[in-house]
Amino acid sequence: MKKELQNKLSRYTAAAAAIVAASGANAQIVYTDPQDVSVDDDADANGFSVVGLDLNNDMTFDFIVAARDTTVGGSRIRFTVAAPYGTASAIAGETPSAYDYALALNSGDMIDNTLNWIAATNTMAYNVDSANPYNENWNGVTDKYLGLQFTVGGNTHYGWARLDVQAIGDVFTLKDYAFNASPDQGIEAGQTAGLLMEQMESMVHFVNQSDNTVKVVISSALTGGKISVVSASGAVVSSSAVEGESFIVDMNGLAAGIYVISAEFNEGAMTKKMIVH
């Protein structure tokens, strides 16, 4: 491996991590807990303040949440909206009076195919001249959940994102998000089953080697292991059972692109994002 590629892989391996937590045979929860992202008035050229959601950590946004403070017809209008980012995503919502409103789910609510899914921009909060005239679901809420649906490699997955939104309508905080890696399986709002990130990071280590391979060092306390390499399109490039306390992942011969090495165990799992040029 060229030194430049080795350095790039090292940086991506160190920077990109997610939790895949096992919760029974039908649930593998990929949980991401970034630092809280608060949006106030840091607007782009179009006047919007935007945060992207990359649920499966493939470096491509699946959804965006955007806020704006503007003036229309002499009225000051402030709002927050959630939108699919691409044609294969949708948001759990309702359509009173033919307008799309994102649901503000509670912890423990089931997110699956029984919800109403809207593949369009959904209003979350709305404020006109310091009033909330339309009783949007998200004005002045704490620890509510967006229900999310998206497609990877032809498979449908369900997830959530937890946010606070102030009553004024255009100030929100993204706290964390997760999705069920098992296709077509639902997820409860707030579900993060399995070991904590800090615990898994202390038990699974990814080490770049000079011969185009990655060595995965595994704690003996983890059982039932499997190592998989998955492409950005969701295709499984390779998958093997883990034997012993180390495993070699061969990156030779892979086409240029983004890959995820997933180390899954009965107790939980770790994934590391890789890039190959």
**For residue range 17-55, what is the model confidence (pLDDT) as tens digits?**
333 333 333 347 888 877 777 886 666 656 788 999 988
Alpha helices (H) in the chain, listed in sequence order: 3-15, 197-203
Phi, psi angle pair for 174, to nearest 5°: -90, 125
Q: Where in the chain is the domain with CATH 2.60.40.3080?
A: 3-23+194-276
pLDDT in the model for residue 162: 95
For residue 271, give the nearest of 239, 258, 261 by alpha carbon.
Answer: 261
What distance in Å separates the CA atoms of residue 71 and residue 251, rounded to the nearest whole number?
A: 53
What distance in Å separates the CA atoms of residue 198 and residue 73, rounded to the nearest whole number?
A: 51
For residue 214, give the nearest of 26, 63, 14, 60 by alpha carbon.
Answer: 14
Tokens of 20: 């895949």
Residues of the chain with pLDDT under 50: 1-27
pLDDT in the model for residue 25: 34
- Determine whether domain 3-23+194-276 maps to CATH 2.60.40.10: no
What pTM was estimated for this model as a whole?
Answer: 0.65
For residue 149, give the nearest of 124, 175, 184, 122 by alpha carbon.
Answer: 184
Tokens of 55: 């649920």
pLDDT in the model for residue 119: 95
Buried b (16+ CB within 10 A) or exposed e, 115-131: bebbeebbbbbbbeeee
